[in-house]
Amino acid sequence: MAIILGDHQYGKAENRIVRIVRDAPRHEIRDVNVSTALRGDFAAAHLVGDQANVLPTDTQKQTAYAFAKRLGRDSIEEYGLALARHFVDEVSPVTGARIEIEDFAWTRAVVDGVEHDHTWVRNGQEVRTASVTVEGRGDAQRAWVTGGLKDLVILKSTGSEFRGFYEDEFTILEPTTDRVMATSLTARWRFGTTQVAWDELYAGVRSILVDRFALVHSLALQQTLYEMGRAVLEAHEAIVEIRLSAPNKHHFLYDLGRFGLTNHGEVYHADDRPYGLIQASVTRDDAPDPGPAWHQYTGLV
């Protein structure tokens, strides 16, 4: 039986880059976490320790910082495409590059009722994400881009049910026709093109996800996720698939009866674990080939 080297890659993970744009009195800030991964002819490094084809991970870090000048005006997707294409086009042993980006939001500080030109407060909302994969050179080059978000914590106090479920001898959960539903949503959507108004589309997708969560009368979190995904695909032709992951952030009605108090859906215990984890993908039936990176790097989400 032969023993062989399987799939392999390497890169520099979690380069924390802050870009300040100072070309006007009103400064701008971009705060990102960038990870690179390269594929190519690196077998000799594993098999005999020959590093001749290995671009150091430190070089990948330096390149990510150098290219961060582009973050002054470009979206994170455009930055990721430029960085990935550089590695594939300019580093001869590299045949594929994967760039993962997290974008941390800041809001301007308000001083005396006016937004300050160069002071910000870290935004506590979701983290925007992007992934870019580029493979091949010249006319054969292909690029796959995903956008996304994580840690979008969202809750509604009514409009959610959970009943009619399968029961066995270990089932003690009581059905309900009205409950608090909350989650910390992770979503990743795959583009069928790289000709996209990235920032505008992100804002549109986020708005749809929040809108559907709020307005769909939910018979189950599964149903809500599907309706969210379906609405995104209907609104944005550039997106061919969306994957959603939603941990159920349980809120249990607290027993105030022992204190002689009534609790008409007013006081809850927020329990962070264990939790139900609902995941789903919604796709177009004619979606193009997602490329090797979509399944390998994202799992279900």
DSSP letter assigned to residue 91: S
- Annotate 143-203 with DSSP letters as a single string: EEEEEEEEEEEEEESSSB-B-S----TT--PPPBSS--EEEEEEEEEEES-S---HHHHHH
Place of tokens 């993908």: 281
CA distances to 79, 164, 175, 233 from 224, rounded to whole Å, are 33, 17, 18, 15
The total number of residues shown for the chain amounts to 301
pTM of the model: 0.88
Helix ranges (DSSP H) in 3-124: 43-47, 57-67, 76-90
Q: 8, 36, 57, 264: which one is catalytic?
A: 57
Look at residue 298 in the predicted model and tell me its pLDDT: 47
Cis peptide before 175 (omega within 30 of 0): no
* Paired tokens of 242: 């969306």
Structural domains in the chain?
1-140 (3.10.270.10), 152-301 (3.10.270.10)
C-beta of residue 35 within 8 angstroms of C-beta of residue 17: no
* Paired tokens of 50: 């020959």
Look at residue 297 in the predicted model and tell me its pLDDT: 45
Q: 12, 36, 183, 224: which one is catalytic?
A: 12
Look at residue 114 in the predicted model and tell me its pLDDT: 94
* Paired tokens of 68: 């961060």
DSSP letter assigned to residue 141: -
Q: 63, 146, 249, 250: which one is catalytic?
A: 250
d(CA 56, CA 61): 9
- Residues in the chain with pLDDT < 70? 292-301
Find the angle CA(39)-CA(41)-CA(45) to the nearest 5 degrees: 100
The CA R_g of the chain, rounded to the nearest whole Å, is 23
250 is catalytic: yes
